């Protein structure tokens, strides 16, 4: 067991995060996100959430982790790289790079639980919870507050060293630690993401209307796709990476080293014809344990039919 020393605890947690394959780890004092409150309220008031009604729930918990974990002292933010070593065939309907491999929720949850167990084994009776994009936690805000990057004009977390192709996760624990400081914004005068978005979802620098985003249409929207969007999806069948692909900081992206994020070989070679003729059986094999299960076979077929000329 480590002696009672904040700096040693902090150093131990960060070295364990690195051992488990996380790209980076930053830590913030748990408390109310004062600056985020009016932004979130304004975003919801403008209905930028579309039919993502879950965004309207747990408003207070989204802004205050002490309401999620009793006696929470620290938010440990972690990044896990998912940038692939190989991309899809050029003549293909496109899916977001984060969905190439197995569902990240389960992959990251295992790592987070191992990190929490390691903290408990080494430091003592520490209580906490692991969060991976499935609870009311403002992941990007906490990651930025913890110095892991800055929120870019496309509303993604950006870093100078590795761009933005990574997942964000948190451990919220009842242990006081040394806290990191926010970094500075390095978007400058660049508007590449705003200019490139085919549905004009980035309605202002740093503000994304979620209800206009291709990811929203192809994943979240359960009804028919709006006819006025026909021809604007740039062949994206699940998610969209356009605002990340054009970001100059992503030229520094390096391939991940997580085997569970490696795609089924068939995925990379699929042509548009293959996508159009995909059967439910093939879907279940190629996308077993994949994030694509979220949209289901019927949803994927709907998206592909919409993309056809």
Active site positions, annotated? 133
16: nearest Cα among 112, 107, 80:
112
> Which H or E run includes 245?
helix 242-245
For 192-209, give one letter per residue: b (16+ CB within 10 A) or e: bbbebbebebbeeeebbb
Output the six-digit token pair for 238: 């699940």
| Rounded Cα distance, 74 and 284, in Å | 40
Secondary structure (DSSP) of 60-107: HHHH-GGGTSTT--EEEEEEEE---SS---SSS-EE-GGGSSS-HHHH
CA distances from 74 to 133, 264, 265 (A): 18, 38, 41
Cβ–Cβ under 8 Å, residues 151 and 59:
no
- Residue pointed to by tokens 């929470």: 72
Strands 202-204 and 94-95: unpaired
String of DSSP letters for 188-240: TT--HHHHH-TT--EEETTEE-GGG-HHIIIII--SPPPGGGTT-STTEEE--
* Angle subtended by helix axes 104-123 and 6-19, to nearest 10: 140
Enumerate the β-bridge partners of residue 167.
Answer: 80
For every residue of 137-186, which 3-state class applies, written as one string? CCHHHHHHHCCCCEECCCCCEEECCCECCEEEEEEEECCCCCCCCCCCCC
């Amino acid at each position: 067991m480590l002696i009672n020393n904040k700096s040693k605890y902090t150093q131990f947690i960060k070295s364990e995060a690195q051992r488990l394959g996380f790209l980076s780890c930053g830590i913030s004092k748990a408390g109310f996100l004062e600056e985020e409150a009016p932004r979130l309220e304004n975003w919801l008031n403008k209905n930028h959430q579309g039919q993502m009604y879950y965004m309207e729930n747990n408003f207070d918990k989204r802004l205050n982790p002490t309401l999620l974990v009793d006696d929470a002292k620290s938010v440990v933010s972690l990044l896990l790289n998912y940038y692939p070593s190989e991309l899809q065939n050029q003549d293909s309907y496109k899916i977001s790079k984060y969905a190439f491999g197995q569902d990240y929720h389960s992959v990251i949850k295992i790592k987070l639980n191992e990190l929490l167990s390691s903290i408990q084994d080494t430091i003592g009776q520490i209580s906490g919870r692991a969060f991976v994009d499935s609870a009311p936690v403002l992941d990007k805000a906490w990651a930025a507050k913890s110095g892991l990057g800055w929120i870019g004009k496309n509303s993604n977390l950006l870093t100078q060293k590795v761009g933005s192709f990574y997942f964000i996760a948190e451990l919220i624990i009842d242990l006081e630690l040394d806290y990191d400081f926010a970094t500075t914004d390095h978007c400058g005068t660049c508007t590449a993401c705003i200019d490139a978005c085919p549905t004009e979802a980035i309605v202002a620098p740093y503000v994304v209307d979620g209800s206009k985003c291709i990811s929203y249409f192809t994943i979240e929207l359960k009804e028919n796709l709006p006819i006025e969007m026909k021809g604007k999806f740039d062949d994206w069948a699940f998610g969209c990476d356009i605002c990340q692909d054009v970001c100059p900081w992503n030229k520094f992206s390096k391939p991940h080293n997580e085997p569970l994020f490696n795609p089924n070989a068939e995925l990379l070679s699929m042509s548009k014809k293959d996508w159009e003729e995909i059967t439910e059986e093939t879907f279940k094999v190629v996308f077993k344990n994949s994030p694509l299960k979220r949209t289901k076979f019927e949803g994927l077929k709907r998206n592909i039919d919409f993309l056809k000329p």
